[in-house]
Each structure stands twice: as structure tokens, then as C-alpha cells.
Amino acid sequence: MFNALLATKEDGNHSVNVTEIDHSVLADSGVLIKVDYSTINYKDALAVTAAAPIIRQYPLVPGIDLAGTVEESDDPNWSVGDKVVVNGWGMGEGHSGGLGQYARVPASFLVKLPQNMTTRHAMAIGTAGYTAALCVDALEAQGVTPDDGDILVTGASGGVGSVAVALLAARGFSVAASTGKPDAANYLKHLGASSIVDRNTLSEAGKPLQAEQWAGVVDAVGGNTLANACAQTRYGGVVTACGLAESAALPATVMPFILRGVILRGVDSVMAPQEPRLSAWARLARDMNLDLLETMVTEIGLSDVCGVAPDVLAGKITGRLLVDVNR
């Protein structure tokens, strides 16, 4: 028996509670992991609150990521005692996830914990930070360099944005951090932002083609913000899109793409193949200042998750929410 956050549904009513469960709730086969930490990402908040139909089967342990230690393995590539990280792959959606003291997942889901990180570091980064690393990888793969100009990061005080600001600054980029929180300016400058952009200047409908400002963009919010970011991107610039906290809509025209050669690059963290996953975690191990990472983190326990999830959806959380599943 072990403690977990368990989502159930009876007579159409969704509920989530910390409860003691047995291993039968987990998958029948795969690698058994003793979980140390998980996190609360935007998708986790949607799942816990049922604000969107993230959970596809019940009962289920939510949590789209985890870090911990292998306790049982049916795969020769993984041994008891290995430290591992898991992000995405439908975990917390159709497969029980990280918000419990144990998880059992296919071996193909696993990534080895970077040598310079603890499991706490890995989940302080979490899926949000791993997604940010995928975005920075995508910008650099398209040839964007610090000499090309400023990089706009939207939703900058959130999980994806905070890590993106830090990673980009570590690579020598000048970062313009967009936020709707006036009191987050000092926090973002501490992470490495060169300038602060008021979210309201991007979140309203704008012209299809605007003054050129950005060599690249990391966008975690979608909607008008993404449309305006595309309209403001310089000739040949690259916009990475990885989220929809503002909206899943894209009220844009083709003008930035056909008149300025702007590249809109979608970034998927859920089903990304192993090669980009390993590249992203290698970047995080190399470029993420772990002392700086600690300034982004608020640590909570399993029993706190349901209470903070609405605040995540409302954009009230700055930085990362780390969940110690053993308290």
C-alpha cells in the first residue's frame, strides 16, 4: 500500500483525494519506480480540477512527470537503484502518473537522471522546464544566435517561462520577458531577463504585421499573444509555440510567414522521441544554474495539490511548484 492522489469518477462526478492504494491501480507490467518528487504543471492543474478532459480513464493517479529510483525492472537497460526522470507519454492522462509514492511505466518512458542533478532538481525543472529546453533547442537548431537580437518569452513568470528565461540568458541571449505580474519584474531580472514587457501589450488583438522586434520567441500562452509575437518577429525569425494558457486559438494571418519568412515551430513535450528528450535534459544539465533554480521553486506536499491547482490555472503562481510525494 502507498499514498497517492487518486482521481475517481462516480455518476459523472470527478473527485481527487489523497488516499492509500495498492499497486493494482498501476500498470501490470513495466518498471516500478519509487517516486521522490513530482510537479504541478498547467496540464496537471487542468486534470486535477477537471477544467479540461485530461484524464481519460478512472481511477487514475494524475501527474505528468516524476523523478525517483527504480525498484523493479523488466527491462535489461534499467536496474534496481537507477535514478530516473519521466515526462509526458500520456502519463497522468491514460496511464497513472507521478502524484503518488510509486509509479509503474514502460521502460521506453525513462530518461536517466543527469549526473549533476538530484531527483529534487529534476522535478524543480519538471515538464515545464524540459519543455522550455525543447524550445531553446528548436531556436538554436533553426540558427538563432545571440547576435540576431532579442528573444521574447511570454508567460515568463510561469514554469516554462521562468526556465526559458534562465536558459536563454545562460546562452548569452538578450531576453524580453512578458508578464502580467508587475511584482515579478525583479524575479525575472534575477533569472536573467534584460527587459520586461507588459502582457497587456500582447494579449489584445493587434495588426497582422507590426514593427519588427524579436529574433525569436518562446511562447507558452497562445491566442492573441502568439499572433502578436509572430507579427512582431523580425525577418527570418523563429517563433516556438508550446502552450495555450491564454487560448488555443491563433487569430493570425499568413503575412509574417510569407512576407518576412517567419518560422512558426510547434514544440511537443508529450510524445517527443527519445533523441530530443535526451538533448533537452543535456541542455538543462549543462546550462541550468541549480542555485538559480531554487529561487523559482515552491515546495508542497500531496495534500496541497488540490488547493493550489486553481491558482495555477488563474496564473497566480510564480515559477515552479514542486511536489514532495512523501509528505
Query: What does the pLDDT look like over 104-113, one tens digit per residue?
Result: 999 999 999 9
In the DSSP assignment, the letter for residue 199 is T
The pLDDT of residue 176 = 98
Q: Are residues 78 and 12 in the same domain?
A: yes
Buried b (16+ CB within 10 A) or exposed e, 7-19: beeeeeeeebebb
Q: Are residues 147 and 259 in the same domain?
A: yes
Model confidence pLDDT, tens digit, residues 273-325: 999 999 999 999 999 999 999 999 999 999 999 999 999 999 999 999 999 99
The pLDDT of residue 233 = 98
Q: Are residues 35 and 149 in the same domain?
A: no
**210 within some domain:** yes
Output the domain CATH number for residue 75.
3.90.180.10
Please report which confidence band the pLDDT of residue 98 belongs to, taking 50, 70 and 90 as the band edges: very high
**284 within some domain:** no
Model confidence pLDDT, tens digit, residues 55-68: 999 999 999 999 99
Q: Are residues 31 and 148 in the same domain?
A: no
**64 within some domain:** yes
The pLDDT of residue 164 = 98
The pLDDT of residue 25 = 86
Please report which confidence band the pLDDT of residue 28 belongs to, taking 50, 70 and 90 as the band edges: confident
Q: Are residues 258 and 309 in the same domain?
A: no
pLDDT tops 90 at residue 153: yes
β-bridge partners, 197: 178
Task: With beta carbons less than 8 A apart as the criterion, state whether 44 and 6 touch.
Answer: no
Measure the CA–CA gap between 81 and 234, rounded to whole angstroms: 49
pLDDT tops 90 at residue 240: yes
The pLDDT of residue 295 = 95
The single-letter code of the amino acid at 247 is S
The pLDDT of residue 86 = 98
The pLDDT of residue 145 = 98
The pLDDT of residue 91 = 96
| pLDDT (average), residues 74-83 | 96
Averaged pLDDT of the chain: 96
pLDDT tops 90 at residue 77: yes
Please report which confidence band the pLDDT of residue 27 belongs to, taking 50, 70 and 90 as the band edges: confident
**317 within some domain:** yes
pLDDT tops 90 at residue 251: yes
Q: Are residues 95 and 135 in the same domain?
A: no
Burial of residue 271 (number of CB atoms within 10 Å: 0-12, 13-18, 19+): exposed
Output the domain CATH number for residue 218.
3.40.50.720
**280 within some domain:** no
Model confidence pLDDT, tens digit, residues 126-151: 999 999 999 999 999 999 999 999 99
Strands 65-72 and 83-87: antiparallel
**156 within some domain:** yes
Please report which confidence band the pLDDT of residue 80 belongs to, taking 50, 70 and 90 as the band edges: very high
In the DSSP assignment, the letter for residue 171 is T
Q: Are residues 83 and 165 in the same domain?
A: no
Measure the CA–CA gap between 245 and 168, rounded to whole angstroms: 21
pTM above 0.75, yes or no: yes
Q: Are residues 93 and 133 in the same domain?
A: no
| pLDDT (average), residues 247-274 | 97
Q: Are residues 141 and 65 in the same domain?
A: no
Measure the CA–CA gap between 17 and 35, rounded to whole angstroms: 18
Q: Are residues 254 and 147 in the same domain?
A: yes
Q: Are residues 41 and 164 in the same domain?
A: no
The pLDDT of residue 147 = 98
**289 within some domain:** no
Domains identified in the chain, total number: 2
Q: Are residues 86 and 183 in the same domain?
A: no
Query: Reduced to 3 states, what is the DSSP secondary structure of residue 25?
Result: helix
- Name the domain boundary from 246, 266, 286: 266
Identify the domain containing residue 194 by its residue range.
127-266
Percent of the chain with pLDDT over 90: 96
**237 within some domain:** yes
